[in-house]
Amino acid sequence: MSLVDPASLSLLADSYPHRAAMIRHHLAAEPLLGHAALAAAARDLPSGKVERRVHNATDGAGFRHRADGRDPAAAIAEGGDAAAWIMLRGIEQLSDYSALIERLLAELAPVIVPATGPVRDIKGFVFVSAPGTHTPFHFDAEYNILFQIAGTKLFATCPPVPPFLDLGQREAYHLAGENMLAWQPDFAQAEQQHQLTPGDALFVPFAAPHRVLAGDAPSVSLSVTWQSRASRAEADALALNPVLRRWGLPAHDPAAATGAPWLRAAVRRLGQRIGVL
């Protein structure tokens, strides 16, 4: 049986890569995504790849690591932590999960590859969230599909343009890894809300700001992310912007651009190679 419902791929094709889209999947009963297997994965991953954070933070500053010493793997084995958000980062490093992600992307390839080319820099994340977990407003400079495995989530997305995401915030991500954003109440008027139940999956466009709220039951989600040749070029161009400003040259702004910044990206890569950037 396919992992992704073939009938729903047309919905993704109609939206990818610029608009969020819901599709259906058959992963809810996948043993690798059950609590026992995820607890084992948490033990197998390097400790730095397993995070346990405050589950009810209202903003990025409050979304801090919990320091009570509880073992994340033990919490997952018990069905999740009642007062924490747990993330397994880099599960593609584990062979069984790598094979699962490869199968998923192979089924999605007929939609993805014609639009953005072969997938690159594939990453996998699992989120084990306490009831009511709030993931504060932020963005990820990746293409992303989140597969809801257990529990429910409200996943709200905004366009990757000002006032939700400005050029300075994009540059901060590529220069320092900062991806948290300040939430403004009036943003709610423009956000698109997606209600996810087990068997639902959501494509999140590249760099789209979003916030997430888990429902009343423990939640498990799998997130698969990737880059394209064009998204890599954008990252290089954004990292080059401070240098261009010092030279009095215009910076690259993805919100105003009509295509990938190939020349700027090539300049940055060349500068890195010869040691001047």
Q: Is the pLDDT of residue 259 over 90?
A: no
Whether the Cβ atoms of residue 124 and residue 91 lie closer than 8 Å to each other: yes
Tokens representing 216 are: 């009343």
Q: Is the pLDDT of residue 277 over 80?
A: no
User: Within 13 Å and on the Cβ side, how many CA atoms surround 209?
Assistant: 27
C-alpha closest to that of 50 among 71, 79, 81, 28: 71
> What domains are there in the chain, each with its CATH number?
6-227 (2.60.120.650), 231-274 (no CATH)
CA–CA distance, 229 with 224 (Å, rounded to integer): 17
What's the pLDDT tens digit per position in 95-114? 999 999 999 999 999 999 99
Query: pTM of the prediction?
Result: 0.96
Q: What is the pLDDT of residue 1?
A: 83
User: Is residue 69 predicted with pLDDT exceeding 90?
Assistant: no
| Tens digit of each residue's pLDDT (9 = 90 or more) over 156-200 | 999 999 999 999 999 999 988 999 999 999 999 999 999 999 999
